[in-house]
Amino acid sequence: MTQPLAGKVAVVTGSSRGIGRGTAIALGELGATVYITGRSTGDGELTVDRTAQLVDEAGGHGVAVQTDHGDDAQIAALFARVGDDHGQLDILVNNVYKIPDPPAWGGGFWDHPVSIWDDQVGIGLRAHYVAAWHAAPLLFAAGPGGFICNVSSPGGQSYHFSSSYGAGKAGFDRLSADMAIELEPKGIASVTLYPGSVSTEFIVEARGVDALAMDTAQTPLAVGRTAAALATADDLMDRSGTIQWVEDLAVEFNIVDEYGRTPAAYGRRVVA
């Protein structure tokens, strides 16, 4: 496998598990140095340390950084470390998200505690803004060609799960599009990525099925491979400000998941 991202530096927020982990590994497959963030550390399976090992095994270099994205100071420290280590940044993947406990699946907004807003919009939309704010000078230091990949959801266009979830995702889509306008003179792309149904560890456990059996779901690694493909696309700046669907990118870039399957199309897709 060629490594077109060799020498490139990436940050993937919320990458101890799920789409973040899949994206970190996919960037590693293409040779990138990937800073992996999250709260969970140590020898367990779903930790930033384990993801760093998987990135190394994939052919990249993983750097685990314990980070609570609800704490602005910790986000600032993360990017200060990247600056100290490399002086620049090529790729930021804004992915971190906090699933409320218990999850807000169904019911009315009045049925959920007000704190759900901070879970789904704070450790999401706000954390993405703060990460991009700190990343911007490092992206500018690398020069034109940088990339902010914003992992959102079809929930930005239609009802999914809860009112607070939709508000966070719709806000993120708008933020990503508007950042693209402001970044265009710098030659930095901002693209929104829309996965479909994804067989994350949380979903697999909640449904009590093996990821391989979820034929209508995309795997985290497949989603990550589409993000990595975008990072190498010759027309990346032309895509800046747009929503890119995982299923379309998979066809365009001939991407398959770890089981050799083309990522499934999203059954509830909304075409804007």
Residues forming the active site:
165
Cα–Cα distance for residue pair 24/252, rounded to 1 Å: 21
Task: Name 93's bridge partners.
Answer: 12, 149
Residue 65's identity, in one-letter code, is V
CB environment 120-146: b (16+ within 10 A), e (fewer): bbbbbbbbbebbbebbbebbbebeeeb
CB environment 23-52: b (16+ within 10 A), e (fewer): bbbbbbbbbbbbbbbbbbeeeeeebbbbbb
DSSP 96-128: -----SS---SS-GGGS-THHHIIIIIIIIIHH
Per-residue CA distances from 59 to 10, 43, 155, 261, 267 (Å):
14, 21, 34, 22, 34
Pick the closest to residue 133 from 185, 183, 95 (CA basis): 183
